[in-house]
């Protein structure tokens, strides 16, 4: 009896991610959800620029590699070209919340019927650990070597809180993948974001608090602890908007 196997939507190749990085977990969750919803053959995924730039080599569905930050605009084009397709983007914090902020906010404002998996690990990983729009106050990075000083470089951007003020957005939830309970919850949120698109409900984004042991300078284990101790207090987990549920409750 098979009790555990690779999801069909995840190609059987070695991932390039660092040891202890949680991208692998989130890839798996996305692939499991694609399998469970039976949508692989009708899905187009959009990879960002950043650590997950090569996600197109890992997902079995059709894939597009977008310019840095532009994935929501590319997804808009793909979805408008054929609304019967399932379209998701997979983006990091630099991609989505810095260079691609305009594309993110306006895709939400238009209630584009797309699903976004947003990895927030508070750092630019691919380029070697620079300050991200989500780096915490005091966080030491390559470009904030004395710790992020909000007086000099501002405060972190809380994407779910910000987008919750955008009327167009349908569903926003922040989850984490630093323990089994959180991982299970993250999968539920991703599934809901994907199901929303299938139901025509519109713009759904799941922010996943993730770890970057390499660039945080922590062991994988301590990186998961750092999520509990530092990240989650600044970025509280939970549902920030669920328009359909709110309307149903009225």
Stretch that binds another protein, among 39-47, 90-98, 145-153, 224-232 (CB under 8 A): 39-47
Phi, psi of 94 (to 5 degrees): -65, -40
Does position 111 bind another protein by CB under 8 A? no
Does position 195 bind another protein by CB under 8 A? no
Min separation Cβ 225 and another protein, Å = 33
Find the binder of another protein among 10, 21, 61, 208 (CB under 8 A): 61
Does position 6 bind another protein by CB under 8 A? no
Which residue's CB is nearer to another protein, number 40 or number 173?
Answer: 40
Residues near 174 by Cβ (< 8 Å), separated by ≥ 6? Answer: 160, 206, 207, 208, 209, 235, 236, 237, 238, 240
Spatial distance between the Cα atoms of 130 and 123, rounded to a whole number of angstroms: 6
Find the binder of another protein among 18, 36, 37, 62 (CB under 8 A): 62
Min separation Cβ 117 and another protein, Å = 17
Which residue's CB is nearer to another protein, number 137 or number 168?
Answer: 168
Find the binder of another protein among 81, 142, 221, 229 (CB under 8 A): 81
Does position 65 bind another protein by CB under 8 A? yes
Which residue's CB is nearer to another protein, number 22 or number 104?
Answer: 104
Residues near 222 by Cβ (< 8 Å), separated by ≥ 6? Answer: 213
Does position 77 bind another protein by CB under 8 A? yes
Stretch that binds another protein, among 38-46, 129-137, 190-198, 241-249 (CB under 8 A): 38-46
């Amino acid at each position: 009896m098979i009790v555990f196997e690779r999801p069909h939507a995840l190609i059987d190749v070695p991932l390039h991610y660092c040891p202890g990085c949680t991208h692998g977990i989130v890839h798996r969750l996305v692939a499991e959800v694609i399998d469970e919803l039976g949508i692989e053959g009708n899905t187009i995924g959009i990879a960002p620029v950043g650590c997950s730039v090569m996600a197109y080599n890992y997902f079995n569905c059709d894939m597009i590699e977008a310019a840095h930050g532009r994935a929501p605009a590319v997804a808009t084009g793909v979805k408008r070209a054929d609304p019967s397709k399932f379209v998701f983007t997979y983006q990091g914090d630099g991609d989505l919340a810095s260079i691609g902020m305009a594309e993110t906010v306006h895709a939400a404002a238009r209630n584009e019927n797309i699903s976004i998996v947003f990895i927030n690990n508070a750092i630019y990983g691919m380029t070697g650990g620079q300050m991200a729009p989500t780096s915490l106050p005091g966080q030491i990075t390559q470009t904030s070597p004395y710790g992020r000083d909000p007086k000099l470089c501002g405060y972190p951007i809380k994407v779910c809180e910000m987008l919750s003020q955008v009327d167009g957005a349908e569903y926003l939830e922040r989850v984490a993948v630093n323990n089994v309970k959180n991982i299970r919850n993250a999968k539920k949120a991703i599934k809901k974001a994907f199901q929303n698109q299938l139901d025509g409900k519109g713009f759904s984004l799941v922010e996943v608090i993730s770890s970057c042991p390499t660039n945080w300078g922590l062991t994988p284990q301590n990186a998961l602890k750092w999520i509990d101790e530092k990240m989650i207090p600044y970025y509280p987990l939970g549902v920030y908007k669920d328009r359909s549920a709110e309307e149903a409750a009225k």
